[in-house]
Chains A and B, each alone.
Chain A
Amino acid sequence: MSDPVLRIDDASLRLGGRLLWSGLDLSVARGEFIAVLGANGSGKTSLLRAILGQHELSAGSIELGGVPVHRGDRRIGYIPQQRLADEGSALRGRDLVALGVDGHRFGTGLPSRARRTRVDAALDAVGARHYARVPVAKLSGGEQQRLRVGQALAGMPDLLLCDEPLLSLDLRQQRVVSELIDRHRRERGFGVLFVTHDVNPILGAVDRVLYLAGGGFRIGTPDDVLRSDVLSELYGSPVDVIRSGGRVVIVGAPDQSHAHEHDHDHAGDLP
């Protein structure tokens, strides 16, 4: 196996005096799709933030392509949950995608053929060409998330971080968006860390699962981790994993949301 895209080594994260997880070791290979599961408050979002350099580890290290991660590393693509609808912005589909190309640069940006080609390619890659000129606020949640995938692809990432990107989408849109991510990680070889509370929409795509709970974790294939005995041991209380018709249902997992001040603090109104 070639060098991993992302290597997390003996990492611990403590936020607001609470230890979210510790001793975390995880390598993400090129083109690998890893689902990050766990109850609210188990530190899923915080893990992504640590990889983005927005949270500092209390111990251990995270390396991207052999170099320690830092804030604003543009080898990382990022897709958060859908919450774009904004009537007050001059923003069409293609403009959102274009931000993934050069939105971080100063200046107004002059129209250039290279830029247009890159945006068009990303729009085609997610099948969004036909609504590229529609205001983003008028698009459905699924259409917006397809644009977000295109935006991430336009940035040509080595690693794609997804934080509940399927939330508030209907089942069909969930499938379309997750299939897009799955297809392009195979074609382009970027690794994927996909935080979700429901593994079912992506179960067919997932190579491995990272399950966080109670400060501990389990890593392995879905069949290895999503089992009653494994999760019961992880939670320290009886948990039933029921498989029915190709779906996985986890019953009895204690919710840690009473202590989740930092996790899932999506801060709707960032500056």
Chain B
Amino acid sequence: MNDWWSMLFDFSDYGQLIWLLRNSILAGLVLGIVGGLVGVFVMSRDLAFAVHGVSELSFAGAAAGLLTGVGVVSGSIAGSLVAAVLIGLLGARARDRNSITAVLMPAGLGLGILFLALYPGRASNKFGLLTGQIVAVDDPRLGVLAVVGGVVVLGLLVLWRPLTFASVDAEVAAARGVPTRALSIAFMVLLGLSVAIGVQVVGALLVLSVLVTPAAAALRVSSSPVLVPVLSVTFATVSLVGGILLALGASVPISPYVTTISFLIYLGCRIVERVRRGMAVRTA
């Protein structure tokens, strides 16, 4: 029991560890902001399943990057973009989108496993692509993540209003001259980039915990178009940075910490929603 505890939490030499892993914390911060913002649109466009599909292809891309020496980051970005654009082009309707995602997902995962099996390097690297590998963020990699994250945030801010219009009321938006089709593809590209960042930090299998859970939690407690993105970013950032800080001295990957915090926040938001509704009924 005690052994397990010390594997899960170990805060000795904490100050030094934080300094050593500052890049990881910064990477978590970038992903928190990106994931929280993108998540708002993932929810309103009903793309949660597509996110999972994109992340499996991102994993395949990363594995290919590792094998060929192109690099994990470029590989995962390439994989993400291919998947996101394919789903965007072929899956305009929800039904098509779900089936295309379901077709791409195992294909991607299978390819990824093949590439990893062929890769002669260390095993921890392999596992990391699926479940997160926060220790491996060096300066150049952090730089790439920050630039990609910046592109996503900037893109979202520019597209914010028409993308909202197209997401909540597509027919009227189209009638009012919003280019719904082009926006859909543009958003899928931004989503693909976000997933690629997520795969670097929490791993392909757990991307949903950063790109969907925080926004879903925020929507339980608010419907304000200003408050929901703010809460979503806060939740995602707290999950990531908090998870990394807890995991620093531990000998298990960061992912379980991140996903657990993220899940607990969601649970908390549901409880808040329930309590509020109960109070509204009583005062009514």
Q: Hey, which bits of chain A sit against chain B, CB under 8 A?
A: 52, 54, 71-74, 76, 78-80, 84, 86-92, 95-96, 99-100, 102-109, 135-137, 148, 151, 155, 161, 266-271
Contacts and interface: CB of A to CB of B under 8 A. Distances in A.
The main secondary structure of chain B at its interface with chain A is: helix
A92 B174 CA distance: 20
Nearest to A161: B175
Nearest to A270: B170
A107 B160 contact: yes
B184 interface: yes
B181 A99 contact: no
B183 interface: yes
Contacts of B282: none
B42 to A, nearest CB: 9
Contact of A266 (B162, B164, B171, B222): B171
Nearest to A71: B177
B161 A103 contact: yes
B92 A90 contact: no
By size class, the interface of chain B is 35 or more
A108 to B, nearest CB: 4
A106 B161 contact: yes
Contacts, number: 130
A107 B155 CA distance: 9
Which 8 pairs, one residue from A and one from B, show the smallest C-beta to C-beta distance? A72-B177, A271-B184, A270-B170, A90-B228, A78-B175, A103-B165, A135-B223, A89-B44
Contacts of B180: 270-271
23 contacts: A54-B175, A74-B177, A78-B171, A78-B172, A80-B172, A84-B169, A88-B43, A88-B219, A90-B219, A90-B223, A90-B224, A91-B168, A92-B225, A95-B225, A99-B165, A99-B169, A99-B173, A103-B176, A103-B178, A104-B176, A106-B158, A106-B160, A269-B95
A261 to B, nearest CB: 15
Given A78-B172, A92-B225, A266-B171, 7 more contacts: A72-B178, A84-B169, A89-B219, A90-B224, A108-B160, A155-B176, A270-B170
Interface string B26-54: 00000000000000100110100000000
Contacts of B94: 268-269
B189 to A, nearest CB: 13
A86 B168 contact: yes
Contacts of B171: 78, 80, 266, 270
A167 to B, nearest CB: 13
B164 to A, nearest CB: 7
B93 interface: yes
A73 B177 contact: yes
A267 B160 CA distance: 23
B173 A103 contact: yes
A108 B177 CA distance: 17
Given A107-B157, A269-B95, A96 B177 contact: no
A78 B178 CA distance: 13
Contacts of A270: 92, 166, 170-171, 174, 180
B92 A269 contact: yes
A65 B46 CA distance: 39
